[in-house]
């Protein structure tokens, strides 16, 4: 004899599985921070917060206040994908597609050097030099502009200056122009120039700033994975001893600057004295600025009126 089930009894049996539940904000952050720490990523807790804030489009305060909120499954999936990229040591700036530099929010992308906090000192010194001129219209050149970070930061604070940024990377120049449009800085122009082989347009200049590739090629294998695996080698090294660009600068700055014009170059730790020595034949004066960690970071010089015979001083 068969068993007959009424329609009423069949309706009691659930047909749909329960909705998939994601972790809470606190649970997701804790798990992510643990994985990042095991992978050797710096600041794992803060990194996890930045990634989740990016996915949720929240600020950190809201993240703290909503720690017990359950994350939708789709949000948690997106967070996990970004987390996996960071676990593979991809730089956080590339993952987010942006970074902050000297108070500016800049786009960044693969194939372009990521602006560094220590380079903000180059901007600070360039602005101090610009103020010392007391001129309404200055001509400023940024060599190796990359994302445009230095050129744009200088232009933001010197609205009456004419700023030109040059680079050998078409990808970098495209990004720099995007950043200029985004910030509304129409006084900055960007040009393709291979500075090792040609001179940029717009000379002469009152001020030249540069943060060239300066890592000796022998040091590349020892760099952090974030740098070694993801950033373009051409933005890191000259392929030689790290001084090739400075030698080139010493040769061309007299042809690019007004008499008594100024130049400011970022240098690697431990190389400031060697770089300054390269500029001695063309400089009326030189000095070295330490960064806030006490590292000699910026070589600043004034072009001699007669760059072939004027003595130099280093202080």
Domain assignment present for residue 104? The answer is no
| 118 and 73, same domain (yes or no) | no
- The residue from 211, 245, 253, 279 that is catalytic is 211
- The residue from 79, 101, 113, 190 that is catalytic is 113
Nearest CA to 40 among 86, 85, 79? 86
202-228 average pLDDT score: 97
| 139 and 83, same domain (yes or no) | no
| 83 and 134, same domain (yes or no) | no
Domain assignment present for residue 188? The answer is yes
| 63 and 201, same domain (yes or no) | no
Give yes or no for residue 114 having a pLDDT over 90: yes
| 236 and 167, same domain (yes or no) | yes
Query: How many domains are contained in the chain?
Result: 2
Domain assignment present for residue 313? The answer is no
Q: How many residues does the chain have?
A: 315
| 257 and 128, same domain (yes or no) | yes
Q: 110 to each of 146, 235, 239, 315, how far by Cα in Å?
A: 12, 12, 20, 39
The parent domain of residue 33 ranges over: 25-88
Distance CA 252, CA 212 (A): 15
> How does pLDDT run across 124-136, given as a tens digit for each residue?
999 999 999 987 7
| 121 and 45, same domain (yes or no) | no
Domain assignment present for residue 242? The answer is yes
Give yes or no for residue 9 having a pLDDT over 50: no
Q: Would you say 206 and 258 are in contact if contact means Cβ atoms under 8 Å apart?
A: yes
For position 305, what pLDDT does the model report? 81
Domain assignment present for residue 43? The answer is yes
Based on the residue annotation, tell me whether 113 is a catalytic residue of this protein: yes
| 64 and 188, same domain (yes or no) | no
The bridge status of strand 205-210 relative to strand 257-266 is: parallel
Give yes or no for residue 43 having a pLDDT over 60: yes
Which stretches does DSSP call E strand in 238-295?
257-266, 283-290
Domain's final residue, options 43, 72, 88: 88
Give yes or no for residue 162 having a pLDDT over 50: yes
Based on the residue annotation, tell me whether 212 is a catalytic residue of this protein: yes
List 266's β-bridge partners, or say none.
298
Based on the residue annotation, tell me whether 17 is a catalytic residue of this protein: no
| 56 and 136, same domain (yes or no) | no
- The residue from 44, 115, 200, 212 that is catalytic is 212
| 81 and 174, same domain (yes or no) | no
Domain's final residue, options 88, 103, 136: 88
Domain assignment present for residue 38? The answer is yes
The bridge status of strand 98-101 relative to strand 296-303 is: unpaired
Give yes or no for residue 211 having a pLDDT over 50: yes
> How does pLDDT run across 282-314, given as a tens digit for each residue?
999 999 999 999 999 999 999 998 654 343 443
| 174 and 215, same domain (yes or no) | yes
| 54 and 130, same domain (yes or no) | no
Average pLDDT, the chain: 92
Domain assignment present for residue 311? The answer is no
In this prediction, residue 18 has a pLDDT band, given cuts at 50, 70 and 90, of: low
Domain assignment present for residue 93? The answer is no
Q: Would you say 236 and 215 are in contact if contact means Cβ atoms under 8 Å apart?
A: yes
Q: Helix, strand, coil proportions of the chain in percent (round to 5)?
A: 45, 20, 40
């Amino acid at each position: 004899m068969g068993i007959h089930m009424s329609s009423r009894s069949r309706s009691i049996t659930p047909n749909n599985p329960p909705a998939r539940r994601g972790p809470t904000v606190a649970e997701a952050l804790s798990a992510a921070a643990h994985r990042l720490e095991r992978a050797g990523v710096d600041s794992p807790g803060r990194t996890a917060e930045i990634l989740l804030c990016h996915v949720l489009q929240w600020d950190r305060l809201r993240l703290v206040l909503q720690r017990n909120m359950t994350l939708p499954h789709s949000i948690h999936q997106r967070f996990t994908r970004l987390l996996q990229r960071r676990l593979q040591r991809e730089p956080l700036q590339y993952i987010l597609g942006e970074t902050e530099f000297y108070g500016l929010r800049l786009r960044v992308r693969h194939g372009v050097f990521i602006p560094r906090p220590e380079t903000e000192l180059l901007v600070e010194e360039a602005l101090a030099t610009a103020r010392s001129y007391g001129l309404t219209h200055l001509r400023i050149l940024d060599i190796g502009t990359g994302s445009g970070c230095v050129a744009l930061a200088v232009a933001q604070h010197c609205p009456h200056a004419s700023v030109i940024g040059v680079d050998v990377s078409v990808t970098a120049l495209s990004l720099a122009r995007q950043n200029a449009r985004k910030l509304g800085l129409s006084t900055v122009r960007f040009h393709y120039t291979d500075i090792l082989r040609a001179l940029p347009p717009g000379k002469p200049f009152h001020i030249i700033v540069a943060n060239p590739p300066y890592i000796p090629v022998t040091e590349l294998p020892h760099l952090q994975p974030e740098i070694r695996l993801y950033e373009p080698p051409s933005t890191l090294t000259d392929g030689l001893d790290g001084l090739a660009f400075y030698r080139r600068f010493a040769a061309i700055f007299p042809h690019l600057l007004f008499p008594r014009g100024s130049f400011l170059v970022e240098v690697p730790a431990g190389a400031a004295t060697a770089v300054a020595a390269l500029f001695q034949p063309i400089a009326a004066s030189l000095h070295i600025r330490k960064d806030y960690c006490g590292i000699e970071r910026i070589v600043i010089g004034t072009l001699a009126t007669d760059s072939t015979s004027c003595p130099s001083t280093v202080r």
